A and B are shown apart, each in its own frame.
Chain A
Amino acid sequence: MSFFRRLDLGRAILTAFVVAFFVFMTLPIGIVVVASFTDASFVAFPISGWSLRWFRRIFEYQPYLDSIAVSLQIAFGATALSCLIGIPAAIALARSPSAWASAVMTYLLSPLSMPMIVIGFAALFFLSRVGVGVSFTALLIAHTTVCLPYIVRTVAATYRGTARSYEEAAALLGANPLQVFWHVILPLIRPGIVAGSLFSFLVSFDNLPISYFFGQPGTLTLPVVMLSYMEHQFDPSIAALSTLQLLLAIVGLVIVDRLYGIDKMTMGD
């Protein structure tokens, strides 16, 4: 019945606009994926031939490998640390109606709203002054400040969405608070923990503004190495590395989505 209404002009223009919008959104990303399979030693169009040589180059260039190891350790470490201190806080604050709890929540989420370059710059000087210096530990701490909000936010949103009655039933049946947490709350909020951890991991792995300030051998993360590589060379290994990174992020997202449904979590609050 709505066939003729569907053909109206306004709707057609709007649809065309949305299509153009997604071309704009995907073009700069898609082009890098295409460029990563070139066999030329610089990116130029049309692509002269296809090869995987730039993917091999990733595994031959030692600074890439070293920095990937650093980035993985930092991203895992900062996510784990954020879970350790963030999950209890999220649970304690999520359901409280008091103004004070919501103030503390705002405080815990506030690093999200501060310019990263300011956080990185300030952390570098402060951590040097208190003796942590430019080190792996310092970088781990700085990353944790920006990862923590992602854990707190997703876990709190998930916990808010679960029914209180499960915990009450467990408590009535004689479970102590620790048992309630372990056997009831934790399984209920696991989707939030997994999704929050994925975001936190990706945010840390991709972070440049903070990591940049901790640029010393041993603390060079992948984005920092890629940035300095790009300043001197324009070869497609950057494209190959980016493509690989995107692939891993999509795989992560799909897994989390299959397990728990990502739209529930992102649109949750």
Chain B
Amino acid sequence: MKTSTFPTIPRRLLLTLPAVLFLLAFFILPLVDNGLRSIVQADGNGITFARYVQLLTDQFYLTSIAQTIALSAAVTVICVLIGYPVAYYLVRHAGRWSGLIIFLLIAPLLTSIIMRTYGWQVLFARRGFINTLLVQDLGLLDTPLRVLDTPGLVVAAFVHVLVPFMVLSIAAVLQGIDRRLEESAQLLGAGRLRTFFEVTLPLSIDGIGTGSILVFMVANGSFVTLVLLGGGLKTLPLLIFQQFNTTRDFGMASTMSTVLLVVALVCLFLQLRLVRRGGEA
């Protein structure tokens, strides 16, 4: 125990320093540089906020911002609605199946984003699996469903990738709930539904919060799914991608990146507050 107090602080600093400096140089500085690019005038002299004004007043960009938020919000809500029952089942009823359920939840995370989007295309193409099944095999429909290139499919694809995070976040909190609280409620005469809505659900609200922030945050920055599945949505990440590719308006792309970054920082802040509150409780 001789090596306590005095030498530990410098040693700790020394061990942390390479990673800290690496991220400073190649993560923080590029983001700052990017922020500066959004406010430097096109000719390189002087500072302008014109791009931000444009972003927040131009109908084109406002629609894009609205679509970005609407898409992420819709995906988040659907993830909660779908993810909660699954998390509940995992914690309360799965028993020996829980290993399999966790594997099935993690498995999609092992697939590439290309594979997942390709899968949706193969499922819903005109001669894809679903349409062949419905039209030819079962004869339920006369004409193939038109699902590709609709916002609905984009939402489904987002939910598919992100719902495992929601399930795991909620399951982690459900696991920690004292079952006796629910039993007491039932002993006092509450029905099962009432016990759920008045005891279990309020107690698991932090899990829903953590999961929602995570899902919202990731959904907000995704663009590959939109590039491949279309759907007519023009979210901010997609516009950044297009502006880099075709219009080459880097100033505007930096402005949109910075807005996305600020949204991500707000989410991160909320996440930390939730985690901290969870830690104290």
Contacts and interface: CB of A to CB of B under 8 A. Distances in A.
Interface in A113-172: 113-119, 121-123, 125-127, 129, 141-142, 144-145, 148, 152, 168, 171
B93 A15 contact: yes
Contacts of B197: none
Interface string B212-243: 00000100111110011000000001001100
A242 B115 contact: yes
Given A15-B93, A208-B114, A115 B264 contact: yes
B210 to A, nearest CB: 12
A18 B101 CA distance: 9
Contact of A29 (B99, B106, B111): B111
Contact of A89 (B1, B20, B34, B111): B20
B26 interface: yes
Interface string B150-172: 00000001001001100010001
Nearest to B175: A267
Contacts of A43: 122, 125, 128
Given A118-B221, A122-B33, A32 B110 contact: no
B19 A21 contact: no
Contacts of B248: none
B3 interface: yes
Contacts of A14: 85, 88-89, 93
B112 interface: yes
A25 B264 contact: no
State the main secondary structure of chain A at its contact with B: helix
Given A18-B86, A118-B261, A121-B34, A24 B27 contact: no
A18 B105 CA distance: 11
Interface residues of B, number: 83
A10 B89 CA distance: 11
Contacts of A118: 31, 34, 221, 240, 257, 260-261, 264
A192 B260 CA distance: 32
A116 B221 contact: yes
B3 to A, nearest CB: 7
Contacts of B105: 25
B99 to A, nearest CB: 7
B18 interface: yes
A91 B19 contact: no
Interface in A159-212: 168, 171, 177, 202, 206, 208-209, 212
A25 B104 contact: yes
Contact residues on A (Cβ < 8 Å of other chain), bracket: 35 or more
A234 to B, nearest CB: 8
Interface string A228-252: 0010001000110011011001100
B56 interface: no
Nearest to A114: B264
A107 interface: yes
B20 A108 contact: yes
B194 interface: no
16 contacts: A14-B88, A18-B101, A28-B120, A29-B107, A85-B19, A114-B264, A117-B223, A121-B253, A121-B257, A122-B254, A126-B34, A127-B30, A144-B26, A246-B115, A253-B106, A266-B106
Interface of B: 1, 3, 11-13, 15-16, 18-20, 22-23, 26-27, 29-31, 33-34, 37, 82, 85-86, 88-89, 93, 99, 101-102, 104-108, 110-116, 118-123, 125, 127-129, 132-133, 157, 160, 163-164, 168, 172, 192, 217, 220-224, 227-228, 237, 240-241, 244, 250, 253-254, 257, 260-261, 264, 267-268, 271-272
